[in-house]
């Protein structure tokens, strides 16, 4: 999951990409002056706690995109930024992603103990055209940052960034078109060109959205807002870098457990290790509410309930059209089901080789229950 943290609101336009800025567009509908930069009520969002003294923002909300209704490095926010860095440092368990068009201000804005960068901060440099790429990226590669990404959004032309990708310092590139009434066009060929550069340099690539006016094979398509992301996904051109480096802090909890606390006799080590290498499954963990539930019940009770839920949801043969990943919430076992490939009969087949065309045996029900219990135990231990 991902979330957004806007500690301040308002911005000043700095380049062509800002022409139809959505902050201005939305503010104007409410008669608000986007040029005034103000602190928001969410200023201390990452360190806010609930009545149990727990952080409201949990690991499952990570990564957190910072300042989407402003620019993190805008000079009007200089007086507030030190507090933000403190919060980011305090929440070292969360990944923060900072998108900016003001990378030239970077060295004036970092905290005293930044060093080579905080491990939990990714800085994303936006370059909407070649001019901005050639202006911003040399600075971006020079300044100390642990994790770097590039965004072409709104992408306004074909952009060559090969020489910057060649540095080996860029982890990911994303492209997207422009939304809104006066959206400028985005061409599929530009996006594919960037994708090919990424493949050549083994850098991950994501086509985020088509934008409202999209050209493919010489034909222009007007794409409604709610279809722009799904249409980009349908293109199927995303690329994951081979041997993408896994940063120590980003390794899944289960993978860390497996490596640091290896128990050769545990029958679930092998399958949990496989699951820990799946980006989808390793990203899942219990919410604070689930954890409270787990702690306030005996292991025997949880195991009994787990067995009952497994039997109720998975025991019988389920027709393919009704066999969906569980979307249920309210008990930690539902989360465990999603994390372990036990959420539907199709996943049971794919991950555990249990056929879909017959009822489960008592032995299989026991295996699933024990696996879910093992996963919950590890998640509780390593969150
Ligand atoms: S920098 Fe970003 S938020 Fe600021 S005006 Fe430009 S597009 Fe809008």
Rounded Cα–Cα distance for residues 220 and 223 (Å): 9
**Closest C-alpha to ligand 1, atom 8:** 21
> Given this model, what pLDDT does residue 134 score?
98
Both tokens of residue 365?
Answer: 């029900």
Residues 186 and 301 in one domain: no
Instruction: Enumerate residues 6+ apart whose C-beta is below 8 A from 30.
Output: none
pLDDT in tens, 122-164: 999 999 999 999 999 999 999 999 999 999 999 999 999 999 9
Residues 181 and 321 in one domain: no
Q: How many domains would you assign to the chain? A: 2
Mean pLDDT of 270-286: 79
Q: What are phi and psi of 12, to 5 degrees?
A: -120, 140
Q: Is 16 in the pocket of ligand 1 (CB under 6 A)?
A: no
- The reply to whether 350 falls in a domain is yes
> Given this model, what pLDDT does residue 3 score?
87
Is the confidence at residue 298, as pLDDT, over 60?
yes
More confident residue, 254 or 306: 306
> Given this model, what pLDDT does residue 133 score?
98
Ligand 1 geometric centre to CA of 174 (Å): 17
- The reply to whether 312 falls in a domain is yes
Q: Is 68 in the pocket of ligand 1 (CB under 6 A)?
A: no
**Closest C-alpha to ligand 1, atom 5:** 13
pLDDT in tens, 153-206: 999 999 999 999 999 999 999 999 999 989 999 999 999 999 999 999 999 999
Q: What is the DSSP string of 233-299?
A: HHT---B--TTPPPPGGGS-HHHHHHHHS--TT-TTHHHHHHHHTSHHHHT----HHHHHHHHTS-H
> Given this model, what pLDDT does residue 44 score?
96
Residues 60 and 191 in one domain: yes
Residues 212 and 281 in one domain: no
> Given this model, what pLDDT does residue 124 score?
98
Is the confidence at residue 356, as pLDDT, over 90?
no
Q: Is 364 in the pocket of ligand 1 (CB under 6 A)?
A: no
> Given this model, what pLDDT does residue 93 score?
84
Q: Is the pTM of this model over 0.75?
A: no
Residues 197 and 288 in one domain: no
> Given this model, what pLDDT does residue 255 score?
65
Among 70, 102, 183, the mutation site with the greatest number of ligand 1 atoms within 8 A of its Cβ is: 70
Average pLDDT, the chain: 90
10 Å Cβ neighbour count for 58? 19
Is the confidence at residue 383, as pLDDT, over 70?
no
> Given this model, what pLDDT does residue 235 score?
93
> Sorting pLDDT into bands at 50, 70 and 90, what band is 23?
very high
> Sorting pLDDT into bands at 50, 70 and 90, what band is 250?
low
- The reply to whether 292 falls in a domain is yes
> Given this model, what pLDDT does residue 33 score?
96
Domain finish residue from 234, 262, 283: 234
pLDDT in tens, 207-239: 999 999 999 999 999 999 999 999 999 999 999
> Sorting pLDDT into bands at 50, 70 and 90, what band is 72?
very high
Domain that holds residue 176: 3-234
Is the confidence at residue 256, as pLDDT, over 90?
no
């Amino acid at each position: 999951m991902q979330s957004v943290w806007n500690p301040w609101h308002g911005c000043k336009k700095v380049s062509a990409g800002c022409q139809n800025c959505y902050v201005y567009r939305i503010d104007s509908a409410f008669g608000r002056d986007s040029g005034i930069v103000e602190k928001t009520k969410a200023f201390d969002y990452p360190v806010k706690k609930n009545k149990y003294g727990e952080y409201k923002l949990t690991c499952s909300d990570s990564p957190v995109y910072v300042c989407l209704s402003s620019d993190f490095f805008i000079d009007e926010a200089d007086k507030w930024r030190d507090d933000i860095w403190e919060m980011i440092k305090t929440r070292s368990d969360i990944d923060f992603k900072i998108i900016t068009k003001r990378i030239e201000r970077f060295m004036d804005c970092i905290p005293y103990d930044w060093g080579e960068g905080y491990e939990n901060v990714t800085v994303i440099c936006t370059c909407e055209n070649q001019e901005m790429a050639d202006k911003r990226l040399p600075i971006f590669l020079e300044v100390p940052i642990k994790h770097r990404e590039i965004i072409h959004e709104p992408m306004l032309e074909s952009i060559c960034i090969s020489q910057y990708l060649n540095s080996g310092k860029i982890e990911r590139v994303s492209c997207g078109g422009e939304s809104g009434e006066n959206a400028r066009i985005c061409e599929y060929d530009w996006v594919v060109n960037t994708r090919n550069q990424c493949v050549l340099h083994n850098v991950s690539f994501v086509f985020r959205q088509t934008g409202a006016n999209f050209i493919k094979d010489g034909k222009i398509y007007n794409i409604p807002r709610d279809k722009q992301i799904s249409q980009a996904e349908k293109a199927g051109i995303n690329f994951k870098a081979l041997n993408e480096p896994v940063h120590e802090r980003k390794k899944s909890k289960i993978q860390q457990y497996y490596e640091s606390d290896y128990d050769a006799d545990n029958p679930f080590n092998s399958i949990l290790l496989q699951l820990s290498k799946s980006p989808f499954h390793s990203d899942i963990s219990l919410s604070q509410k689930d954890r409270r539930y787990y702690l306030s019940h005996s292991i025997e009770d949880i195991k009994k309930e787990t067995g009952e839920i497994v039997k109720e949801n998975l025991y019988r043969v389920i027709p393919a059209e009704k066999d969906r990943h569980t979307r249920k919430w309210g008990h930690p076992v539902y989360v465990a089901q999603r994390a372990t490939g036990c959420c539907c009969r199709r996943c049971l087949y794919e991950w555990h080789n249990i056929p879909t065309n017959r009822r489960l045996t008592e032995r299989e029900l026991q295996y699933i229950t024990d696996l879910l219990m093992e996963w919950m135990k590890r998640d509780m231990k390593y969150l």
